[in-house]
Amino acid sequence: MIIFIISLFGVITFLLYWLFMSPYSKVFGAFPYKKVNETKKVIALTFDDGPNEPYTSEIVDYLDSRNIKATFFQVGKAVKQEPKLTKRMYDTGHVIGNHSQSHSFLKYFTQPSFRTELQESQAEFKQVLGKEPALFRPPWLFRTPLLLRSAKNMGLFPVSGLFCNNLEVFHVSPEKIAKTAVTRARPGGILIFHDGYNGKGAARKETVESVKHTVSALTADGYTFVTVDQLFGIKPYK
């Protein structure tokens, strides 16, 4: 009986994860982790939870040195703390996407539609950039029909992706992060790194180094890098 209960709990947990958080699930609507039927070796590097200094600047400086532009899904409250950095990233050609205002899981329950989180963060971005992002990635990739409906009504394009390494935020070695990222790379794919942690300050030196390893390996394998809007042929801002 105990084994049955444990097994049932495991199945239910997996199903809930698949429905609400898996990058592969499209039960509630489109949520792309790659461009379908892409054959060219192009890939989008994306970064969540920032800006977070000095790590975001270190990543940006490295990418700029390689003439690579990436997509940064930023948290509104973090942007408020580092507006000049976000503006500099925008001015140098990196794309800024919306990653909510507070990155609080509680908001999924207190704001089922997530609309206020989206409105507040869009306002924050507009104040800094003079325009609003058209790309949106929900924290933890968690989505519901109500959230996706709010995003659609606000003209936002929801974006998923594959995590570079499921344990990245726990400071595993750069080599391990990069090895998994390269393994998960596919033509037209989207890789997710974290330059912050839930919109708060956090040490991300392993991520900085893993990006260098990943870029070098993928470049050697013939990949070129694009931003998410370029990958899907859409406008990055509204």
Residue of 194, 195, 213, 229 marked catalytic: 194
End-to-end CA separation in angstroms for the chain: 56
Q: Which residues contact 191 (CB under 8 A, 6 or more apart)?
A: 43, 44, 45, 46, 161, 162, 163, 164, 181, 184, 185, 214
Task: For the beta carbon of residue 167, count every other beta carbon within 10 angstroms.
Answer: 11
The Cα-based distances of 120 to 112, 123, 149, 159, 228 in angstroms read 15, 5, 17, 19, 23
Closest to 71 measured CA to CA, from 220, 237, 227, 236: 227
H or E, element range at 73: strand 71-74
Question: What is the tens place of the pLDDT at every residue in 8-24?
Answer: 566 577 777 878 899 99
Instruction: Give residue 59's pLDDT.
Output: 98
Query: All domains of the chain, ordered by start, with CATH?
Result: 30-232 (3.20.20.370)
pTM over 0.75: yes
Whole-number pLDDT of residue 132: 98
Q: Catalytic residue at 91?
A: no
Q: Is the dihedral of CA 177, 60, 121, 199 positive or negative?
A: positive
Which residues in the chain come in under a pLDDT of 70? 4-11
Q: How does pLDDT run across 81-96, given as a tens digit for each residue?
A: 999 999 999 999 999 9
pLDDT value of position 10: 63
Catalytic residue check, 221: no
pLDDT value, residue 70: 98
CA distances from residue 40 to 35, 62, 222 in whole angstroms, order as listed: 11, 24, 10
The secondary structure of residue 93, as a DSSP letter, is: T
What span, in angstroms and rounded, lies between the C-alpha atoms of 48 and 152?
21
For residue 46, what pLDDT is reported? Answer: 98
